[in-house]
């Protein structure tokens, strides 16, 4: 008897329906075709054992299984469930009336229990698009899949539960869950607040400007000055995720298998902080079966690189293209996979090998040449993509003990949201441009052109501070953001002055100053 069940293959964020065709005839052997990987080929052993523990009869006949289309790669253990159901139905162990109405996905344990799988959300989106009645998944994936409207999602615990449901012997109901309500309730719940940061008003201002314009930022200062502490609070002042951004971000985490069992939509912007020993593949994505890297997991959020000069230089260089294109393409011999990676890049660094250059309470033992070599680990092309460079010093104890609580993150966030709305309105006619950091040179000339006084100030600053030519456009982008925070349509001299102050590392004499 020939039977068909339906599942899906996930390759990157591309999802395709897979038809599992199973025929049971006279004979003994089991044949599995259709370009499945090792996990798919091993499914027959898991299925055979799961049948026994579920009191189901595995056919003592020739079983031929084809995963169609046969030229499409199938990866992972999610095909266990649809293959098991098709074998049972082809052996006349259950009715076939409802098999064409549902997509099936799930890994089988040897005891017949369903284990969670990767990619349930993009498969659920495909199931709705293809007008399937419902989607059957392991219980651990049900909230993730239930994000999709107008699709019945059934979370099942065992293979036997699925068989009974498809045989009309169960009254299982689809999950009813208001994901939108939970999403909006959780958007403003942050454990970390800028109010806890004593002092450092200039750095907090720089982070506000960075958040308002989507600018990349680097903080340079001695150990203990609060670089990491403030970076971790940055998501709390970024604009909230839109529903579309949340869905896109959640899909990436779903494909990577990074969603917790009780998670539906990701409601807050991601904050990823990889260790400096990270490999290129782990950072940008890839592997034998391409998976999203840290830059894609940070999509619509923040990628924080603590102690930036300690990263392998070759690893840092692979960030250059993603920072510019906001997507990463992973190529293999027979296929390519694209992952989005539109993120804010935030980094911190010590100013020198010993860490104490510029610290008033410690003496730096490094020479200017050592400081140059240390910061030269960060290449010019990478620094060219960082709009705001901020020096930071430790707050003295007397200032910490006497300082009043700082401004709350929610207050800063309101100003950021207001500035972002101005930018969204300004760039609504430009595809893919949402904030000032994404402006092209022609857009800079149109929206961020200083007057004659401002041009003269820029000329003097570039000459006196030995600023590099690449700093010019960066200063104008940042000045445009500062003007938006002020609600000003034109760039004023004080906007440019503040933007110039954020280019400290471009100064030719930066490493020669006295300690």
The pair of structure tokens assigned to 164 is: 């009974």
| Position 34 confidence tier, pLDDT thresholds 50, 70, 90 | very high
Residue with tokens 């609070």: 233
| Position 42 confidence tier, pLDDT thresholds 50, 70, 90 | very high
pLDDT (average), residues 34-58: 96
- What residues contact 310, with CB distance under 8 A and at least 6 apart? 276
pLDDT (average), residues 64-75: 95
| Position 376 confidence tier, pLDDT thresholds 50, 70, 90 | confident
| Position 180 confidence tier, pLDDT thresholds 50, 70, 90 | confident
pLDDT at 154: 98
- For the chain, give the mean pLDDT: 92
pLDDT at 285: 93
pTM to 2 decimals? 0.92
Look up residue 437 and give its DSSP letter: G
pLDDT (average), residues 3-24: 96
Q: Within 13 Å and on the Cβ side, how many CA atoms surround 273?
A: 13
- Distance CA(233)–CA(352), nearest Å, equals 25
pLDDT at 510: 57
pLDDT (average), residues 185-196: 87
| Position 288 confidence tier, pLDDT thresholds 50, 70, 90 | confident
pLDDT (average), residues 74-79: 95
pLDDT at 379: 87
Kind of pairing between the strands at 30-33 and 2-11: unpaired
C-alpha Rg value of the chain to the nearest Å:
28
| Position 289 confidence tier, pLDDT thresholds 50, 70, 90 | confident
- Distance CA(8)–CA(15), nearest Å, equals 7
- Distance CA(461)–CA(104), nearest Å, equals 64
pLDDT at 186: 82
pLDDT tens digits for range 431-450: 889 999 999 989 999 999 99
Give, in order, the Cα–Cα distances in Å from 306 to each of 226, 273, 310, 386.
12, 7, 9, 15
pLDDT at 513: 60
**Local structure of 196: helix, strand or coil:** helix
pLDDT at residue 511 greater than cutoff 70: no
Nearest alpha-carbon partner for 475 in 213, 229, 157: 213
pLDDT (average), residues 504-509: 67
Number of H helices, E strands in the chain: 22, 18
Nearest alpha-carbon partner for 163 in 73, 267, 57: 57
pLDDT (average), residues 278-297: 93
Q: How many CB atoms lie within 10 A of CB 468?
A: 17
Angle between helices 80-90 and 159-166 (to 10 degrees): 50
Centroid of chain to Cα 170: 39
pLDDT tens digits for range 319-352: 999 998 899 998 887 778 999 999 999 999 999 9
pLDDT at 514: 54
- Distance CA(449)–CA(409), nearest Å, equals 31
Lowest mean pLDDT among 68-82, 374-388, 463-477: 463-477
- What residues contact 49, with CB distance under 8 A and at least 6 apart? 110
Q: Above pLDDT 70, what percent of the chain?
A: 96
Asked if 484 contacts 213 with a C-beta cutoff of 8 angstroms, the reply is yes
Asked if 409 contacts 190 with a C-beta cutoff of 8 angstroms, the reply is yes
Centroid of chain to Cα 402: 39
Asked if 484 contacts 210 with a C-beta cutoff of 8 angstroms, the reply is no
- Distance CA(347)–CA(378), nearest Å, equals 11
pLDDT (average), residues 354-358: 91
pLDDT (average), residues 134-146: 95
pLDDT tens digits for range 213-264: 999 999 999 998 889 999 999 999 999 999 999 999 999 999 999 988 777 8
Lowest mean pLDDT among 90-104, 166-180, 425-439, 466-480: 466-480
């Amino acid at each position: 008897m020939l039977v068909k069940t339906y599942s899906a293959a996930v390759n990157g964020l591309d999802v395709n329906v897979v038809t599992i065709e199973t025929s049971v005839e006279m004979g003994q052997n089991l044949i599995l075709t259709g370009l499945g990987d090792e996990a798919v080929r091993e499914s027959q052993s898991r299925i055979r054992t799961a049948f026994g523990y579920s009191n189901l009869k595995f056919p003592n006949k020739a079983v031929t299984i084809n995963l169609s289309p046969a030229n499409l790669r199938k990866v992972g253990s999610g095909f266990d469930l649809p293959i098991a159901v098709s074998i049972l139905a082809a052996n006349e162990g259950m009715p076939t009336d409802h098999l064409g109405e549902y997509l099936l996905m799930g890994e089988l344990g040897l005891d017949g229990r369903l284990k969670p799988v990767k990619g349930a959300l993009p498969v659920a989106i495909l199931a709705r698009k293809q007008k399937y009645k419902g989607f059957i998944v392991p219980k651990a994936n049900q909230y993730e899949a239930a994000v999709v409207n107008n699709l019945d999602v059934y979370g099942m615990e065992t293979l036997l539960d699925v068989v009974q449901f498809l045989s009309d012997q169960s009254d299982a109901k689809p999950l009813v869950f208001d994901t939108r309500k939970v999403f909006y309730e959780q958007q403003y719940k942050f454990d970390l607040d800028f109010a806890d940061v004593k002092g450092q008003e200039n750095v907090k201002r720089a982070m506000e400007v960075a958040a308002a314009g989507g600018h990349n930022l680097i903080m340079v200062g001695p150990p203990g000055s609060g670089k990491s502490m403030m970076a971790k609070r940055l998501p709390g002042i970024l604009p909230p995720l839109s529903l579309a951004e949340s869905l896109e971000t959640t899909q990436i985490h779903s494909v990577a298998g990074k969603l917790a069992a009780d998670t539906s939509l990701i409601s807050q912007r991601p904050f990823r902080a990889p260790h400096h020993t990270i490999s290129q593949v782990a950072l940008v994505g890839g592997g034998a079966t391409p998976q999203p890297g840290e830059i894609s997991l940070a999509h619509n959020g923040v990628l924080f690189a603590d102690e930036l000069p300690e990263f392998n230089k070759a690893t840092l260089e692979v960030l250059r293209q993603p920072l510019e294109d906001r997507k990463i393409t992973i190529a293999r011999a027979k296929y390519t996979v694209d992952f989005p990676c539109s993120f804010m890049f935030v980094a911190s660094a010590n100013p020198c090998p010993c860490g104490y250059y510029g610290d008033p309470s410690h003496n730096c033992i490094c020479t200017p040449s050592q400081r140059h070599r240390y910061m030269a680990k960060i290449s010019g092309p990478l620094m060219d993509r960082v709009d705001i460079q901020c020096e930071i010093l430790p707050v003295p104890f007397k200032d910490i003990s006497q300082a009043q609580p700082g401004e709350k993150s929610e207050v800063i966030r309101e100003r950021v949201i207001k500035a972002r709305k101005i930018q969204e309105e300004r760039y609504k006619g430009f595809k893919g441009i949402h904030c000032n950091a994404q402006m092209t040179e022609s857009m800079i000339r149109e929206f961020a052109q200083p007057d004659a006084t401002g041009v003269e100030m820029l000329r003097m600053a570039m000459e006196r501070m030995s600023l590099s030519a690449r700093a010019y456009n960066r200063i104008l982008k940042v000045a445009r953001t500062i003007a938006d925070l002020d609600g000003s349509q034109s760039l004023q001299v004080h906007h440019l002055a503040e933007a110039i102050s954020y280019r400290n590392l471009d100064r030719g004499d930066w490493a020669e100053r006295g300690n």
